[in-house]
A and B are shown apart, each in its own frame.
Chain A
Amino acid sequence: MHTALDETGSLAESLTRKRRGGWKDSLVARFIFLNGIAAIVAVALIFVFLLKEAIPLFKTVSLWRFLSGTTWLPDQNQFGLVPLLIGSLFVTVGAVIIAVPLGIACAVYLAEVAPRPVREILKPTIEVLAGIPSVVIGFIGLMIAAPFIQNLFRLPIGLTALTGSIMLAFMSMPTIISISEDAIVAVPKSYRDGSLALGASRWETIRGVVVPAARSGIIAACMLGVGRAVGETMTVLMVTGNASNLPNGLLGVPAYFFGPVRTMTATVALEMGDTVQNSPHYYALFAVGLALFAITFAVNLVADLALRRTRH
């Protein structure tokens, strides 16, 4: 039996259903959701696929031998990650030493000091730098930077870890500058006013108040810059010489910087084309890819956490 209340109830219900658009809208909503999770699917797919192609390597070489092995000689089935990891590490550390102080200084200058006309030149310049394809930077490194460094330090060859670090430093600058600048600009004006009112100079305010307040954002910026440097392929491939060496003890570190090195990214790029599918070498290159994926994933995760902290 129908009562009036029932009827109004069902009327309201059908109205809301109409508002939501019924089956068509819910179908669209489902479709949109499927696209919404595309990024999750992509990351998961990449991870699973790399894992699937890397695991068979450990029938030939144990996981421990892969992670701790100090020789990378694919012809002799020796797949030790250490020289490649050290190569990536040194090139990245070199880039960080150059790019982080310079990038933060540039961000502080842009956000706090630069007069308007300078800012209007600097900002598009940074955007242009961010846009230059890595293969073009590698080309310039090869044609200009490598001979320059070879002459400057009287080296037998200009394709060195140092050359790579310098080029990578410039490539990671836009990331470091723009994200640090955002963090510095986001510091409330009242902080600066308070500090200035207490008699601090502008520089003292920047150093003692503004930069510390923007710390998490600046850390995130540097981490993202590191991530960019670790994963960069073409530039490094073109300018670091690609010899898989190890530093000769602690004293050998400077010599290592001035000699050719081979990074993880460059190894994959160089060797993937010549390898046979489903050979140990093929699996080993996927294992290197997996290691790269893991490293950049961790770096980005830390950066993301730091950025989240700045927003609260």
Chain B
Amino acid sequence: MNKARKEKIVFALLSLSALAVIVPVAAVIYLLVSRGAPAISWSFLTEMPRHAMREGGILPALVGTACLMIGTVIFAVPVGVCAAIYLTEYAGQNAFTRLVRLAIVNLAGVPSIVFGLFGFGLFVLFLHFGKCILAGSLTLALMVLPVVITAAEEALLTVPKSFRDGSLALGATKWQTIWRIVLPNSAAGILTGVILGMGRAIGETAPIMFTAAAFYLPRLPSSAFDDCMALPYQLYVMSTEMFNPSAKMQWGTALVLLMLVLGMSLIAAVIRNRFRRRRAW
């Protein structure tokens, strides 16, 4: 009896630890929505900022973040998917493959500011790109590469071996098998991983603060060699370095950024679930 009571107490304490996660997260979301939602309107999303970023909209930051995201997709996705194909379809079980995996794990663990430092040193200064969307996208692409590789690999592994064997037995080459059988059957999973990577990329500040982002620009970027405004950097400067900032702009920016990032993971989750239900095997 004593034992049972002790167990009840312990389990109650454990459930408190769950509350310690749920309550702060709920509080943060509630705060952001309740204070950010009044700021958000159509004009907030589609107008240029006015009065030294204290009024108006966040259009240039939205456009900048979108440009950086597209650039990141262009660089990270082909390399990431090919790397995943290498790992699932070509690599043997040997020390070299271990090394590749170790590199992926470690790349995922490199602090975001170190990516920023590296991107600044290599792309901005050494290669003379200057502070621009191209340099920022390349830096972000390096950072999300492990996310894309890991997710794509997981997706490729869900395709049963019998599919590959069947295709090879019909005389298809290895690449034909990958291109016509493996990739189409894992496309939804790969897309999920890509979207998750993008969500990660648009929320990051440290990698773009020296490579791409500017606090205030009176124009939209017109080429990959322009610098741009970006939502996370805008939020950072507005909440730390700006004198007398507008709370409306701050909370509005924070909420838009959060909705974009969480929206991405929601889309990823929906695609994953639909794909799982539809899968015949």
User: Is chain B found bound to chain A in the same assembly?
Assistant: yes
Residues of chain B contacted by A285 (CB below 8 angstroms): 117
Given that A42-B145, A114-B18, A304-B102 are contacting pairs, would A134 and B205 also be in contact in the complex, using a CB cutoff of 8 Å? Answer: yes
- In this assembly, does A156 line the interface, its C-beta being within 8 Å of a C-beta of chain B? no
Question: B residues within 8 A CB of A63?
Answer: none
Query: Are B206 and A234 within 8 A (Cβ)?
Result: yes
**Counting CB contacts under 8 A, is B48 at the interface?**
no
B146, A39: Cβ atoms closer than 8 Å? yes
Contact with A along B1-41 (1 / 0, CB 8 A): 00110110011011101101110111011011000000000
Decide if B199 touches A131 in the complex (CB within 8 Å): yes
Any B CB within 8 A of the CB of A127: yes
Q: Is A238 an interface residue (CB 8 A)?
A: yes
Is A38 touching B145 in the complex (CB atoms < 8 A)?
Answer: yes
Inter-chain contact B176/A21, CB cutoff 8 Å: yes
A36 CA / B108 CA spacing, docked (Å)? 15
Q: Which of B70-129 contact A (CB under 8 A)?
A: 78-80, 82-83, 85-87, 89-91, 99-100, 102-118, 120-122, 125-126
Shortest CB-to-CB span from B109 to chain A, Å, is 4
Interface-central residue, B3, B83, B104, B209, by most chain A CB under 10 Å:
B83
- Residues of B near A38 (CB, < 8 A) are 79-80, 83, 145
Q: A32-B86, A121-B22, A203-B11 are in contact. Are A231 and B113 (CB under 8 A)?
A: yes
Q: Tell yes or no: B155 within 8 A of A by CB.
A: no
- A residues 115-145 near B (Cβ < 8 Å) are 118, 121-122, 125-129, 131-140, 142-144
Asked whether A304 lies within 8 Å of B24 as measured between CB atoms, the reply is no
Tell yes or no: A5 within 8 A of B by CB.
no
Q: How far, in angstroms, from A99 to B25 measured CA to CA in the complex?
A: 15
Chain A 266-305, CB-CB to B under 8 Å as 1, else 0, gives: 0011001100010000000110010011001101110110
Q: Does B261 contact A (CB under 8 A)?
A: yes
Interface presence of A173 (CB below 8 A): yes
Closest to B240 in A: A238
Judge if B44 is at the interface, Cβ distance under 8 Å: no
Q: Are B203 and A135 in contact (CB under 8 A)?
A: yes
Max count, chain B CB within 10 A of own CB: residue among A28, A232, A277, A286: A28
- A219 is an interface residue with CB less than 8 A from chain B: no
Beta-carbon contacts under 8 Å, A93-131 to B: 102, 105-106, 108-110, 113-114, 118, 121-122, 125-129, 131
Q: Indicate if B239 sits at the interface (CB-CB under 8 A).
A: yes
Kindly provide the distance from the CB of A297 to the nearest chain B CB, expressed in whole angstroms.
6
The answer, yes or no, to whether A49 is at the interface (CB within 8 Å) is yes
A39–B114 touching, CB < 8 Å? no
In this complex, the interface size class of chain A, counting residues with CB under 8 Å from chain B, is: 35 or more
Contacts of B82 in A (CB 8 A): 31-32, 35-36
Q: Is A32 in contact with B17, judged by CB distance below 8 angstroms?
A: no
Rounded to whole Å, the gap between the CB of B165 and the closest CB of chain A is 13
**Which of A202, A237, A289 contacts B117, CB < 8 Å?**
A289
Select B25's contact among A37, A110, A129, beta carbons within 8 Å.
A129
| Chain B neighbourhood of A139, CB < 8 A | 235, 239, 250, 254
Min CB distance B194 to A, Å, is 15
* CB nearest neighbor in B for A106: B17
Chain B residue numbers with a CB within 8 Å of A24 are 173, 175
Per a CB cutoff under 8 Å, which of B11, B79, B99, B205 touches A234? B205
CA distance A18 to B168 in the complex (A): 11
Contact status B205-A133, CB under 8 Å: yes
Bound together, the chains give a CA A132 to CA B82 distance in angstroms of 29
- Contact A293/B110 with A24-B175, A36-B91, A131-B262 known, Cβ cut-off 8 Å: yes
Inter-chain contacts of B261 with A (CB < 8 A): 131-133
> In whole angstroms, how far apart are the Cα atoms of A125 and B18 in the complex?
10
Q: State whether A232 and B209 are in contact (beta carbons under 8 Å apart), knowing that A50-B117, A135-B203 are contacts in the complex.
A: no
**Chain A residues within an 8 Å CB radius of B105:** 300, 303-304
CB distance from B9 to the nearest CB of A (A): 9
Can you list 6 A-B pairs with a CB-CB distance of less than 8 A?
A20-B173, A46-B110, A128-B265, A233-B205, A234-B205, A286-B117
A residues at B contact (CB < 8 Å) = 18-21, 24-25, 28-29, 31-33, 35-40, 42-43, 45-46, 49-50, 53, 102, 105-106, 108-110, 113-114, 118, 121-122, 125-129, 131-140, 142-144, 170, 173, 177, 201-204, 224, 227, 230-234, 237-238, 265, 268-269, 272-273, 277, 285-286, 289, 292-293, 296-297, 299-301, 303-304
The 6 closest A-B pairs by CB, nearest first: A231-B111, A36-B86, A133-B203, A21-B173, A35-B82, A105-B17
Given contacts A36-B82, A45-B118, A135-B205, 19 further A-B contacts (CB under 8 A): A21-B173, A21-B176, A32-B89, A35-B82, A35-B85, A39-B104, A46-B118, A49-B121, A109-B18, A122-B21, A136-B32, A136-B257, A137-B28, A142-B239, A231-B111, A232-B112, A233-B112, A265-B206, A272-B116
